[in-house]
Amino acid sequence: MSLRIDLRSAILALSDALDLVGVNDFQHGKRVAMIARETAINMGLPERRLDRLVCGCLLHDLGVSSTAVQRRLLRQADWEDRHIHCETGYRLLQPFSHLSLVSRAVRYHHTPWVDLPADLGETDALDSNLILLGDRVDGMLLQRGLDNPLFNRPGIVEAIVGLAGRELLPEAVDAFIAVASREAFWIALAPRHVQSYLNDLPLSEWRMTIDFPMFGHVARLVSTIVDAKSHFTAAHSLGVAQLARHLGQRSGLTADSLAKVEVAGLMHDVGKLCVPDEIIDKRARLTPLEFSVMERHSFETYQILRHVPGLEQVAEWAAFHHEALNGQGYPFRRSAARLSTEARIVAVADVFQALAQERPYRGPQPVDVIGGILGEFVKRGVLDGDLVALACEDLDGSWRAATLPWSGDGGGG
């Protein structure tokens, strides 16, 4: 496949996805990157090291998909279960040749300086502690409010000074104090300035291209984070991806389109990271307010993916999975004339897999019942009748694709 993806863009998109988990505590990873990077500059770290540190900061909470866990991490620095997400992030990053470079710093970013393993290595030890410093500073900022970070400077600096020597490397604290003396440092942490700071970073060490099959592995990583949000959605994205490829093959899609539609299936629910756990796991019918929150997720998926050069088509196929041929879907109200075959495939795969899986309000549906429900969606003008017919002609094969463990056979994953 000729399509290639810029790794820097992919990392920034992944950072955007992780931002969603905070819901209201937005841009946490990005502010941690700003705080740690400015401190590291004062310590004299070279540009190459700064790039690696920024990447580690942006991805440090990779192991968090639960909004409840995120809230506790940002408000309880001594939470006894805080290391669980560190281990999860480490495990998720390990299989990737370049991303694995930051995996050990991510693993130990909640470990006090004096408790770091002796064999960690100087680079990983410093990076993990700078991430911890940034994390603690931003946690205090979030508790005090981001409307005017500069106003909160004295109390935060005093608290960080108190952590020197045990939790934080004294030299890192000294560098932070020097950086914190600048008003501009605090003003730049206001939400409207954060994205500009990140956009201006060249991140030259991460500005490399990866081929599309390799990006499929990154998409697999994203799907793991999303599906871990609730045990009700465990492996949902994987099932949608496998069924989308299965239906695509039966529809005669080209090999390139099959690879891309599989990635669209893997990433179609990335925007769901912004939906609070209590809505995802609610056993009763959602209220109008709660459903309006749920409706955001496919729009957020689109916003994250469309900014990655080369993923423009994938962004649409993934984000349109709740659109309907009759124009009554959401969030864009696209009608049949503006829904590609690939987008329709992802929509059918999403409904099929969801029906085959347990939800808070019902159990998994038998395979023969699924066929009947899909037929009702066709009658209502929601799903494509030809694609539903393809799925129903091979119900057992479709069910296996939607529910069996990840095969990893496709070019995208």
- pTM over 0.75? The answer is yes
120 close to 104: Cβ distance less than 8 angstroms: yes
Q: In the chain, what are the domain boundaries?
A: 4-206, 210-403
- Dihedral angle at the C-alpha atoms of 361, 367, 372, 373, nearest 10 degrees? 30
What is the CATH topology of the domain spanning 210-403? Hypothetical protein af1432 (1.10.3210)
Sign (positive/negative) of CA torsion 62, 222, 53, 75?
A: negative
270 close to 226: Cβ distance less than 8 angstroms: yes
What is the CATH topology of the domain spanning 4-206? Hypothetical protein af1432 (1.10.3210)
H helix runs in 182-254, sequence order: 183-187, 191-199, 212-227, 236-251
**Range 213-232 burial, b when 16+ CB lie within 10 A, else e:** ebbbbbbbbbbbbbbbbbeb
Asked if domains 4-206 and 210-403 share a fold, the reply is yes
CA angle at 45 for the pair 41 and 49, rounded to the nearest 5° = 110
Return the structure tokens found at 218.
């990154």
**Element at 21 (helix H, strand E):** helix 7-21
**Range 334-349 burial, b when 16+ CB lie within 10 A, else e:** beeeebebbbbbbbbb
Could you read off the pLDDT tens digit of each residue along the chain, which spans 413 residues? Answer: 667 888 899 999 999 999 888 766 789 999 999 999 999 999 999 999 999 999 999 999 999 998 888 888 888 888 888 999 999 999 999 988 789 999 999 999 999 999 999 999 999 999 999 999 999 999 999 988 888 999 999 999 999 999 999 999 999 999 999 999 999 999 999 888 999 999 999 898 888 888 888 888 889 999 999 998 887 778 899 999 999 999 999 999 999 999 999 999 999 999 999 999 899 888 889 999 999 999 999 999 999 999 899 999 999 999 999 999 999 999 999 999 999 999 999 999 999 999 998 777 778 898 889 999 999 999 999 999 999 999 999 999 999 999 887 665 544 33
Rounded CA gap, 341 and 348, in Å?
Answer: 11
